[in-house]
Structure 1
C-alpha cells in the first residue's frame, strides 16, 4: 500500500503537504557525498536538444486538502478497507479492436498514467488510474479522464512500444480479500485508453513490481511473499492488444526484476538470506544462479538498467538496513553463457532513494528522495562510481518517477509528489524545474506510480 506514505509519521505528512521540507534539504545544489568506492571521473552529458518543456498548472498540493489518521500507529495498524472508492464501478473490458501500429516511431503527444491508491477516506482503497497528456511542445495537462481498474492500483508500466500498459492492484492491508490482480490497459495514438484484461491469478499474492521484456512480448511481475510462497509471475503480451497469465517462476521474496537485452535472462533483487540477487533463465523458467552481493538487506522498489545493458542501478530505501539511503551500481557481464552480476560501487547519503532512471545517454542517473523531499541527479564514472551533481529541492515526498528517453523532450522527468506531478528536465548543465501539475485534492488525489508512453 504505497508503503512510502505508511512509513511516514502523520505530522510529517501534514507538514509535507504544506510544502515544507519534512527533513529535506532546501538548497538548490547539494554537495556530492564521497562514494564508498573511488573511481576515475567520467564525462557527463545531457540528452539531445529540443524545445524546453512547459507546464499548464503550477499549483502545488495544499495541506488542508488531505486528512490523515491522528497518529503514525493509526496509519500502520488500520486495516485496509477494500470498499469501492469510486462511484461508477469497474471499467468494462474491451475485447478489441486491438491497436496494430507501434507508437514509438512517432514523436506526437504521449499518454501519461498515474495511479491513485487511496479513496476519499485514507483507509480505503482507491480504484483509479488517471490519464494525463504530454503534448509535443512539452505541455502536461490533466485530461480529466480516469479508469476504475480495481482495488488499490499501485504500480503501472508501459510496454516498450507504448500500445499497452499493465497496472498492479494490490490490497496488501487485507490480502485475504483476494482482490490482487494485474490489469492490461490498451492505449492508442489518440490517447484513448481502455481496459483490455484483468488477470486474477495473483489473487492473494503480493505483486510489487512489473518489468517488460525489451521486445514487449512478455511481462514479469515480482510477488513478494515473506513466507516463501512468492515468485516471478510470467505474462504473455499480445502487443497492442492484451495480456494473459502463463506461470510462476519460484524465487524467494523478489522485490524488483530487470529483464536484460536479448530477452533470455533477468536479474531479480531477492532471495533467501544471505542471497539478495538472482539470475533467472526466462526460457526455462528457472534460477540460473544466486548471489550475495550486498552486506545487508536491500529494499528497492525500482531498478534501472543503462542503455548498453551493462550497469544496473539499485537504490536502497530500507529503514532496517545498514545500507539504507544508498544507491549502488551492479555490473552485468554478459560475455558468457549466462549473465553474471557483480557489485561495483555504493554511494551513501542519498536520503530514501525511491525512483531511479538512467538518462538517455547513460551517463547520469536521476533519483527521487522520498523523505528528503528532493530529486537528485548523479554522475556515473569509471568502475561504476556515482557522485551527486545536484538536486532540485522542495519536491514534497518525491515518489516514483518516469523519464522520456527519446524525441524532442528526451530527458523529461515526471515525479509523483503528494497530489501533484513535478516536471523536471535534464540539460547539458544540470536539471531544470518546470513546475508542478496539481491533479486534485483530498486523499483520493494522492499519487502512487507514474508511467509515460515511451
Structure 2
C-alpha cells in the first residue's frame, strides 16, 4: 500500500499576478455533526502527522477585471491532455471557517503521485465564494471554481504550490451546484436552480489568457435545473430539471438538449422520470453513453433516496430499474470500465458500490467509515485509472480525503486516507483532479 505524506505549508504572496497562461503546460501534477456514526476509514493506512498550522491564503480581491471577446474564442490548446501517468494536482474546497456563522471560501491543493501517494502541500487560495464545484480544463493548467452564489472563478494552476486567481464572473441569481466543460476546453455550461426564469443553463467562455465572459445570448432557461451530463458525442447534454408541480406545471424532470454549431442549446426531448419532486445536483452517464443514472437526494420527496437507472437510445430514455434504500444519496460516479458505479451517501458515512448483473444494476458492496461523503473525483486514464478521492470527516472530527481503488468491475479497495486536520475550517467538500 502506498504511504500518505503531509508536507509543510507554504504561503502564497498576496496579490500575485496570474499572468498569461496561453503557452502553459500541464502542471506537475452538510454539517460536521453528522459524522459521529462513521468508523475510521484510514485506520489501516500509514499517515504522516498533518498537524501543520493553517495554510497560507491569497486574497480573492486581487482579480484582473479585463474581459475577453466571447465571439471568436480562438482555440488555445486547453483541450489537449497531458501525460496519463504524471503527477496530478488535486483541489478541494473548505466550506466552513473556525466560526460556524462565517462560510469558508478557500480551496486547498494536494499532490497525487503516480504511485497513488497523496500529499498535502499546505497551499490554500481564497476564491471569495463558498465553493460548490471544481473542474479542470483537460490540459490541467486552469481550474474553474463555481460558487454556490453563482460566482465562477478561473484559477491558474502551475503546480500544487502555485495557484493564482485569473478572473471571475457573476451568473444570474440562482442556486448553483454543477458545471460541465465542453470538449473544446473553453466553453463552460453552468446549471442554476431557480423556480423562476433565472433558472437554467449559462454559457461561459474561457479565453486563452484565462479570462471569463458570460455569453448571455446563449442562456437556456430551465426552471429548477439540476445536474447535467455530456454524452460521448460532445453534443448531447442530459439535464435533470424543468419539473414544476406549481403553475405553470411541467411534470417532466429530465431533458435532452443538443449543442448548436454557434453555441447554446435546443431541447430535443423531455421525460417524466420521478412522479414526485426531484433534486439531483449530480447525474452520471456511462462512458459509452448508454446508461443514465439520476439520484433523488431531496429529503421531502416521496421518492427520496431512490436511484433511477435509465437506458439511453438516441435521444430517448427507457426506465430500466429503480433502486431504493440508498439513504442520504448525494453523488453517483461511473468508473472508466463502465461496469462500476460509486454512490456517495453523506449521513450514512459510506460509499456504495454498484455493478450490473443478470437482474440489472445492484449494490454489491459498501465502503464504510467515509464520514459525510458527498462529492467524489476519479482518475479516468493511465495506471491510476479508477482511483477515487472522497472528502470525508471521521468520528473523532478529523477531516481527510479517502482513497478508493476500482480494481475490477464491482471490486473496490479502501487505500486509506490523508488527514487534513481537526476543526470546522479543515472540513473538505468539493474536489477535482487534473485529468
TM-score by length of 2: 0.78
TM-score by length of 1: 0.75
Q: Is the 8 A contact 1:187 1:240 kept in 2?
A: no
- Choose 206-215 or 183-192, whichever is displaced more: 183-192
Q: Is the 8 A contact 2:232 2:287 kept in 1?
A: no
Structure 1 residue 355: Cα displacement: 2.0
Question: Is residue 181 of structure 1 aligned with residue 151 of structure 2?
Answer: yes
The change in CA–CA distance for 1:290 and 1:280 in structure 2 (over 3 A counts) is same
Q: Which runs of 5+ in 1 are unaligned?
A: 7-12, 29-53, 62-85, 172-179
Aligned ranges 1:8-157 → 2 under 5 Å: 13-14=32-33, 16=35, 18=36, 20-21=37-38, 57=47, 89-90=59-60, 92-93=62-63, 102-157=80-135
Distance 2:119 2:281 in 1: 27
Structure 1 residue 374: Cα displacement: 0.8
Of 219, 234, 240, the match for 1:269: 240
Distance 1:343 1:113 in 2: 36
Q: Which has the higher helix share?
A: 1
Distance 1:141 1:386 in 2: 35
Q: Is the 8 A contact 2:378 2:387 kept in 1?
A: yes
Instruction: Tell me what 1:378 maps to.
Output: 354
Question: Is residue 235 of structure 1 aligned with residue 204 of structure 2?
Answer: yes
Aligned ranges 1:238-387 → 2 under 5 Å: 238=207, 241-247=210-216, 248-273=219-244, 274-283=251-260, 284-334=264-314, 339-381=315-357, 385-387=360-362
Q: Is the 8 A contact 2:50 2:420 kept in 1?
A: no
What are the superposed Cα offsets for residues 231-281 of structure 1, whole Å, 9 maximum, x if unpaired? 111112346834321122111110111122333221110113312011223
Structure 1 residue 91: Cα displacement: 5.8
Question: Is residue 402 of structure 1 aligned with residue 377 of structure 2?
Answer: yes
Structure 1 residue 58: Cα displacement: 6.9
The change in CA–CA distance for 1:437 and 1:282 in structure 2 (over 3 A counts) is same
Instruction: Tell me what 2:404 maps to.
Output: 424
The change in CA–CA distance for 1:243 and 1:27 in structure 2 (over 3 A counts) is closer
What are the superposed Cα offsets for residues 61-114 of structure 1, whole Å, 9 maximum, x if unpaired? 9xxxxxxxxxxxxxxxxxxxxxxxx9753163478xx98574433421101010
The change in CA–CA distance for 1:271 and 1:99 in structure 2 (over 3 A counts) is closer
Q: Secondary structure at the match of 2:282?
A: coil
Instruction: Tell me what 2:422 maps to.
Output: 441
The change in CA–CA distance for 1:200 and 1:327 in structure 2 (over 3 A counts) is same
Q: Secondary structure at the match of 2:99?
A: coil
CA RMSD of aligned residues (A): 2.9
Q: Alignment length, in residue pairs?
A: 374
Q: Secondary structure at the match of 2:374?
A: strand
Instruction: Tell me what 1:170 maps to.
Output: 148
The change in CA–CA distance for 1:442 and 1:27 in structure 2 (over 3 A counts) is closer
Q: Is the 8 A contact 2:60 2:165 kept in 1?
A: no
Instruction: Tell me what 2:70 maps to.
Output: none
Q: Secondary structure at the match of 1:439?
A: strand
Q: Which runs of 5+ in 2 are unaligned?
A: 1-29, 67-74, 245-250, 394-398
Distance 2:379 2:168 in 1: 27
Q: Is the 8 A contact 1:316 1:352 kept in 2?
A: no
The change in CA–CA distance for 1:323 and 1:107 in structure 2 (over 3 A counts) is same
